[in-house]
Amino acid sequence: MRWSKLPAELRLEVLEYLARVTYYHRKRKTLAKYATVSPEWQIFFEGHTMRSIEVKQSEIDTFRFIFRTKRRRRCLRNIGLVLELELHDTTSLWYPEGATRNHTFGEMWLLASQPTVLPMLVSEAVKRNKIFARTAQALFCELSPWRKSHVWHTGINLEIIAKSKSFWQKEACKLQPSTDPVVFGTQTFSKSEQEQILEAAKADFRSSIGLYFKSAAPKMPQVKVITSLSILRKSVRHFDPRALARLMGYLPSLKTFVWEMRPRGHRNIEHELQEQLSTAIKDWPSGLNDVQISQPTPFDNYLTLSPSLAMLSANLADRAQCLSCLSLRHCTDAVEFFKPGIRRFPNMKYLTLRSKQLVVDELPSSGHYLLGLTAKAVSCMPKLRNLTLFNMHGDHIGLLTYEISDNMLTLKLRCSWPFEIREGTIGLLRDSLKRGRSESLRWGSKLLLAERVKAHIASALYRNKLSVERH
């Protein structure tokens, strides 16, 4: 029987089967070939092949040609804006070819130990900033005429992608620390020091991508169809938080911001990042509703609380008063975030915090100051559905979860260190958490091995992610 003679329902079922099988085998190019069979197949498969695309500045003309057909715009859900940084990295031109292993370690040590960016790298930073600004400007000029009625009903996610490694990141991947000391001038580096130097190089030292350079940054048009901005782990470079805040200013419909930060190579650089992020938060658009920031960090000593972290946590808490979803898997000063009597969170529904402090006190202490602060803060969140508070410091792994489901409030504590929650404390928690609520409260606490608590944390974070996506 000819294709045109088949019932419409059967034809659709065949096409959906082809799409599922092709995606299962990850042969996306085959889907594009199917689109050339007939106009019917073209319309169907464009809905799959054009859901997510990556575009570079050099491909903007092609992007314009493809999406001049408005039907295709409605298929588009994610744009990956790829920065072509590798075309402008000129470090290899001045770095001596065939440099010895010791010389390379020495150069990396010099770059890692400097409190500011060296003059030789300033020009590289300017080039990176220009690439980011001009690439974003080129895309925004194409998207600015688009209307919300042209695109997917929830809008488009813009993902910024910087997946090309810098010269020093590539060099660090070639080297391995050895038990033999490395000698550079009067400096001698042991194996542990070599590891630290390589980690700093893999983190690209103090380099970050911004929108600022000597001349004025190009002005960009407003884009109303972008509702989500993300930088995911596939990006191997750092971004200046202030540049991202400035970019958000051109996205009046922005509701969601997801940033999977890369770890920094030195504690001082991390403090600098915290200060920059504290400043940038104040410039986030008022319509932002969902913020998710995560960062794997090697600096997990819970005893070292810095003023920059306290400032960042306070500014995040101020901003959280307007949010419905906040996930901070970046270390925060939870005591500062939940500071009593200052803030109200009337719209908060889902809250995840990675705490620099322990979620409960370790014996012999039993004051549990943070636990009490958290309970009082929850009483100021009338719409809260889920709260996850956790810490990960060596073998001290703790998790506190608060959930509402089936007319039941559930508060669970899982820790890897010995603790004691007295009946009086539990009574105070019940009074705080049930304030203004009709649901009954169920409480449970367990002392578990660190690996078991980590598994509980992973499970809680995954459930939270699904809940936020449904939200």
Q: What does the pLDDT read at residue 225? A: 96
- 0.95 cut: is pTM over it? no
Question: Where do we find the tokens 């410039």?
Answer: 283
Which are the contacts of 372, defined by CB distance < 8 A and separation ≥ 6? 425, 428, 429, 432
Domain positions in the chain are 1-49, 54-248
Q: What angle do CA 134, 139, 143 make, to 5 degrees?
A: 145
Q: What does the pLDDT read at residue 301? A: 47
What amino acid occupies position 118? Answer: L
Which are the contacts of 427, defined by CB distance < 8 A and separation ≥ 6? none
pLDDT averaged per 10 residues in sequence order, the chain, 471 residues: 62 59 51 52 60 88 86 88 77 60 80 69 81 93 93 93 87 83 81 83 83 68 96 91 94 96 77 89 93 76 72 93 92 89 85 93 85 87 92 91 84 92 79 70 89 94 84 68
Q: What does the pLDDT read at residue 461? A: 92
Q: What does the pLDDT read at residue 191? A: 83
CB 253 within 8 A of CB 285: no
* 210-242: burial string, b at 16+ Cβ within 10 Å, e else: bbbeeeebeebeebbbbbbbbbeeebbbbbbbb
Q: What does the pLDDT read at residue 31? A: 46
Q: What does the pLDDT read at residue 273? A: 86
Closest by Cα among 412, 421, 435, 301 to 368: 421
